[in-house]
Amino acid sequence: MSYFDDIYARVFGKSSNQPTRILVDEIIKRSQSFVTQFNRWKQTDICTDFLNDLWQSYFWRKQGVEKDPRLVLLESNYSNGFAIDYEAEFGKRNFHYLFDYLADQVKKLDYRLVVSKRTMQEKGSVVESKEMHYLKPKNGFIEPIDQKYGNIQIEFIA
């Protein structure tokens, strides 16, 4: 099963029969060094070019055209999203920074970060590392509460 088939199966309910064993389950705490490097990255042309490539890829994917980096659109009656296929030419660091960048952008939409956690699981002969940010709209006091885009989950899977 390919990476995107696995994601699609998890999002839309097809289960995998592989036994898993959790090795690590912890809250993400970024070091000051990571935060400094991340903030520098956001100011670089590398970041701008990478985000532009992703936007172009998303735009063309919506038109049915595949472009690098490859995207899979996940659309159903219950949830929507996208998955980005890792490609070495864009660099692992860019993808990792993108994970935190997306969470920062969602917070600007009046969302609050509920949890950020990291898990590592042994799946057969493979170890999967997953970092996850889970965000919810900030609670309002005016009824009905604006759910905006609903709850948002951002994952970085290696």
Spatial separation of the C-alpha atoms in residues 119 and 66, rounded to whole Å: 31
Asked if residue 1 is part of any domain, the answer here is no
- Tell if the pTM clears 0.85, that is, is over it: no
The alpha-carbon radius of gyration of the chain (Å, integer) is: 17
> Does residue 13 carry a pLDDT above 90?
no
Q: Report the residue count for the chain.
A: 158
What would the mean pLDDT of 83-99 be, rounded to a whole number?
88
DSSP state of 109: T
Helices (H), the chain: 3-12, 32-42, 45-62, 92-107
The reply to whether 10 falls in a domain is no
Is residue 146 in some structural domain?
yes
Q: How many domains, the chain?
A: 1
Residue 9 lies inside a defined structural domain of this protein: no
Residue 6 located in a structural domain: no
Give the span between the Cα atoms of 140 and 110, in whole angstroms: 10
**63 or 8, which is more confident?**
63
The percent of residues above 70 in pLDDT, for the chain, comes to 84
pLDDT at 111: 92
> Do 100 and 38 contact (CB within 8 A), yes or no?
yes
Query: Whose CA is closest to 150, among 92, 122, 109, 118?
Result: 109
Pick from 69-78, 93-102, 111-120: least confident = 69-78
Contact partners, residue 88, CB within 8 Å, separation at least 6: none
Cα separation, 134 vs 156, in Å, equals: 12
Q: Which residue has the higher pLDDT, 143 or 20?
A: 20
Assess if residue 40 is contained within a domain: yes
At 140 the pLDDT is: 65
Pairing outcome for strands 20-27 and 111-123: antiparallel
CA distance 35 to 52: 22
Whether 5 maps to a domain, the answer reads no
- Residue 7 domain-assigned? no
Assign 17 a pLDDT band (cuts: 50, 70, 90).
low
Residue range(s) defining the domain that contains residue 84: 17-157
CA-based angle 18:24:28, to the nearest 5? 125
Q: 3-class DSSP state for residue 41?
A: helix
63-83: pLDDT as tens digits: 988 888 888 888 888 888 888
